[in-house]
Amino acid sequence: MTSARPTIVDVAKLAGVAISSASAALNDQKGVSTETRVRVREAADSLNYVPSLRGRSLSSKRAFSIGLIVERDFTILEADPFFSAFIGGVEESLAPHGYALLLQIVDDEALNVTRHVELVDSRRVDGIILSELRADDARIPAFEARDTPVVGINPGQGFPFPAVHQDGGAAISALIVHLVELGHTRIAHVSGPAGYVHSRERLEAWKSAMLASGLSPDLIVESDFTHEGGLRAADSLLADDSRPTAVFCANDLMAIGFMNKAMELGYRVPEDISIAGFDGISLGVYVRPTLTTIVTNPHLLGKEAARLLLEAIDGAEAGDAVIEPATFAPRGSSGRGAVPRTPRP
């Protein structure tokens, strides 16, 4: 029969102190001497004492968890490796501090706001990571009215909380220069939903790069960051002879969907049309041809966001974190521009 798990009562008894003193010593609270703190910790180590999460929460008035809510279809985590890499980075920062990630997925904007507020008001989390921010995001005023630590991911100007930033503009400019040097003059953009800050930033970076190369940024299709959205965008942009010879999609899933549909319609990639994405997900290396893309670092974004949030939870004045800019990765899906041709039947 296994022995009972040691409790704070056992620790206090072995250390020869009151239970309240043992609890204060183990939770780094004031009111105990250095000598008592050392004696209690030695007693805890000798008993292999592991404090319960419930006990830690009661004594410190913390939940020891942070919240992340993703607003996408419920299948998104299995379809998009970006989020798994981001969550891995978050967990890397949380694990050494005994914190847990409370992850939820919603498929509705109003529900997104409601769930965030419920998490905080119910005290189920000590802080929130805000991802996929909108230009007019209703979550921001909701949290400004609450004393809750918040960290944002690539927000727009005027964001009132600490944030993690990774610039993608220079890499998008390098992509357009690459395509122009290959002879492309009709370069389309498949954007994400217009309300998202990162959709607008990628769109504006594409427009600026096009204008800098003397090209007209007039071929734009709005989509939804999914593989299916890329399929629909291909149907739209490849419908007639005025089609582009190159396409930049606002994420890799749409780019892969676009590439699959283009080949299904009889176009060769990159001989007839070049295709590029954004994110640098691992799947882009395994498709054929390999996907030209902008490589970001979702793992580091998540790791830095969780680090900043833990600092804010501990009462520190957390500032913004800026990680290395995204980089341009030319691969097999981009090639020399060709005269548009009718696809094979």
DSSP code at position 304: H
| pLDDT higher than threshold 60 for residue 344 | no
| pLDDT higher than threshold 50 for residue 2 | no
Each residue's pLDDT tens digit, 101-125: 999 989 888 899 999 999 999 999 9
Each residue's pLDDT tens digit, 40-54: 888 888 887 766 555
| φ/ψ of residue 249, rounded to 5 | -100, 145
- 62 or 66: whose pLDDT is higher? 66
In this prediction, what percent of the chain has a pLDDT beyond 90? 67
Spatial distance between the Cα atoms of 291 and 64, rounded to a whole number of angstroms: 40
Each residue's pLDDT tens digit, 275-291: 999 999 999 999 999 99
Ordered by where they begin, the domains of the chain are 8-60 (1.10.260.40), 65-165+298-322 (3.40.50.2300), 169-297 (3.40.50.2300)
Residue with tokens 């993608």: 168
* pTM listed for this prediction: 0.82
Q: How confident is the model at residue 3 (pLDDT cuts 50, 70, 90)?
A: low
| pLDDT higher than threshold 50 for residue 1 | no
Exposure b/e, 199-218, CB count within 10 A at least 16 = b: bbbbbebbbebbeebebebe
The chain-wide mean pLDDT, for the chain, equals 89
Q: Is 331 exposed, middle or buried (0-12, 13-18, 19+ CB in 10 A)?
A: middle
Looking at the DSSP bridge assignments, the partners of residue 196 are: 134
Dihedral of alpha carbons 71, 72, 78, 82, sign: negative
Q: How confident is the model at residue 271 (pLDDT cuts 50, 70, 90)?
A: very high
Each residue's pLDDT tens digit, 139-189: 999 999 998 999 999 999 999 999 999 999 999 999 999 999 999 999 999
Q: How many residues does the chain have?
A: 345
Residue 128: which of 137, 140, 120, 136 has the closest Cα? 120
Spatial distance between the Cα atoms of 324 and 57, rounded to a whole number of angstroms: 36
What tokens were used for 316?
């520190």
| pLDDT higher than threshold 80 for residue 301 | yes
Tell me, what's the pLDDT at 341? 53
